[in-house]
Every structure is written in structure tokens, then in C-alpha cells.
Amino acid sequence: MFPLRRNRRLRTNEAIRSLVRQNFLTPNDFQAPLFIVEGKNKKEEIASMPNYFRFSLDLLQQEVKDLWSLGIKSVLLFVKVDDQLKDNKGIEAVNADGLMQRAIKTVKDAVPEMVVMTDVALDPYSIYGHDGIIENGKVLNDESVKALAQMALSHAQAGADFVAPSDMMDGRILVMRETLETEGFTNTGIMSYSAKFASAFYGPFRDALDSAPVDAKDIPKDKKTYQMDPANRDEAIKETLMDIEEGADIVMVKPGLCYLDIVRDIKNNVNVPISVYQVSGEYAMIKAASEKGWLDHDAVILEQLTAIKRAGADFIATYFAKDAAKLLS
């Protein structure tokens, strides 16, 4: 048909490109992960995540207000737990006056409309750095699920809008949903990390929370017995469908860029919102390359976020939420 068909006619200038553009980013697409630390007037930069910080509760208030002013309407909370509060069962995780519980209340006091989602996993509270309880060198499933359900309930009692289990234990969504329902938290949602892979991209995050698995005898050296094998594709759909059947309101794929095929597969198979987590390693790579002058920092941010949305994400948890919102404004 050439030259009757000239595809470049639709790329002639920005005006026509905008008219036919198929995917758009707005601040509504972003969720900001926030790291919380004990103390006052603390804003600690994370060495492996340049220009990203841990906030004490007093400074968290202003950070949340700044995010809201940029149009970002959801935060995902993580806490750095003091070593003396860690054990093998996550007892501190259900402390009504714990750091996470106070962080939830701080965000809600600062911006009541902000959607607060909370990380539900034992690794920040574990002396072993694992997402579950350890016994005889193994991560126990059912015992861990019981602890995680109580952790989720504690977050709901503190005011969380959604709990976000990131542990990848079998059956935890059903137990959490039943626990929340029994205790009257029928409107508390669950965003499940349904397709969370045993990725090498999580390193900076574990630095941020001091939550890496410890190197000790009889302790699993990694999380491959519960997080998914990066080589597997069909398994991600199975895991996600099971979580939906058990009561998940939102499902997540983690990490982002290397798993866009998984995002599209899940999009084609489910009818609930899909979140994608652009993880710490993805953030660190862009920062490192742009600091060297090898990449255009702002252009790469928007291109990667657009790619994640194009693959099927309804929203994206990203450490670039603030930067991207500013760029789009």
C-alpha cells in the first residue's frame, strides 16, 4: 500500500502525537512508598537510594502534605524497626503504639483523605530478616500466616485503608480477610503482593529497612522458598487468581520493568485493579546512570512509568512519584 499508508503522518508534531496517544500518566497513577524511622527531626538519606529518605513522624506530616499538594493520593508505609524490638515472631508488629501504628495515625491526621496502605510482612521485625517465623531452618507457613493476620488487624485498628501483605505465604489473604471481617473491618481493603518474584532488585530496599536475611547457620540465605521464581510465568497468574478468590481487592506485580509480560498476562486474566511496584533497584539504577551522565534522568523516569502503565498497571508504587508528579505538572 505504500505510499498510500504513511504512518509518520501521525507523528508529524506534538499536537498530533498528543491526539493519538494511547496512554497517559497523571499523579493519580502514582503511589509513594514512605520509610519511617523513630526519633524527631530525622530525614535520613538512604545511601543506595540517592535523594530518598527515612522520615521521623514529625517530618512525615509535611512530606504527606507535599505529596497531596502534587496530586498524589496514596502512600505505602514501611517502618525501620529498632534491633532491640526484633524477635522471631514479630511481637512488636502488633503493638498498638508501635511505629507503624503511629505512622498510620500521623498520615491520617495530616491528610485525612490520603489513602494509606501498609506493608504486612515480618521481615522488618524479624531477627532473621525473613517474612515469616523460622523453625528448624525453615520458614513456617501457617504459623506465619496467623501472625500476619494479627498484624493486618492491628493496622486496620490504627486506621489503615488497605493492608498490603508482601510476604508470599500460602493462604494468607483468606485468613486476613476472615480476621478483618470477624473484627468488623469490612471496609478495610487488601492489596496483595500476588506476583512477587525473588528478585535481585530489592537490595537498596533492604538497606533502607535493615531487613535483609541474616547470614547464619540454619537460616535460609534468601527468600526463594516463598517468593516466586523469576523464570516462571504461568505461576504468576495462578497465584493472582487464588489471591482474588481469597478476597484480595487489588493485586500487585513486583518488580516492574523486568516483569511487564507478567503484568499484561494478569491484566488479560483478572477484573480487579493491578498495582506494579517499581522497586528500589530500578530506582537506584536510574539514579546511578543519570549521575554519570549516561541517561536523561527525567526522560527515563517518564518512559519507564509509561511502559509500566502501558503493560496494564492501574497504578504504580514508585520512588519517583514526587519527581514524576512535578514533571507532569
pLDDT, tens only, 266-311: 999 999 999 999 999 999 999 999 999 999 999 999 999 999 999 9
How far lies 123's CA from each of 51, 71, 233, in Å?
24, 31, 26
| Whether residue 210 has pLDDT greater than 80 | no
Which three three-digit cell numbers place residue 302? 517518564
Identify the helix (H) or strand (E) that includes residue 106.
Answer: helix 99-110
Reference 309, options 5, 14, 28, 3; nearest CA is 28
Do β-strands 138-139 and 134-135 pair in parallel, antiparallel, or remain unpaired? antiparallel
Reference 144, options 225, 47, 234, 199; nearest CA is 225
pLDDT, tens only, 223-267: 999 999 999 999 999 999 999 999 999 999 999 999 999 999 999
Output the pLDDT for position 208: 78
pLDDT, tens only, 70-91: 999 999 999 999 999 999 999 9
| Whether residue 1 has pLDDT greater than 70 | no
State phi, psi for 296 to the nearest 5 degrees.
-85, 105
Mean pLDDT, the chain, whole residue set: 95
| Whether residue 140 has pLDDT greater than 90 | yes
Active site residues: 196, 254
pTM of the model: 0.95
pLDDT, tens only, 7-60: 999 999 999 999 999 999 999 999 999 999 999 999 999 999 999 999 999 999
pLDDT, tens only, 147-204: 999 999 999 999 999 999 999 999 999 999 999 999 999 999 999 999 999 999 998 8
Spell out the SS3 assignment of 238-307.
HHHHHHHHHCCCEEEEECCHHHHHHHHHHHCCCCCCEEEEECHHHHHHHHHHHHCCCCCHHHHHHHHHHH
Output the pLDDT for position 217: 79
Cα–Cα distance measured from residue 103 to residue 108, given in angstroms and rounded to the nearest whole number: 9
Which three three-digit cell numbers place residue 107? 498520615
Cα–Cα distance measured from residue 132 to residue 119, given in angstroms and rounded to the nearest whole number: 14
CB atoms within 10 A of CB 241: 16
Instruction: Name the percent of the chain lying above pLDDT 70.
Output: 99
Which three three-digit cell numbers place residue 256? 516492574
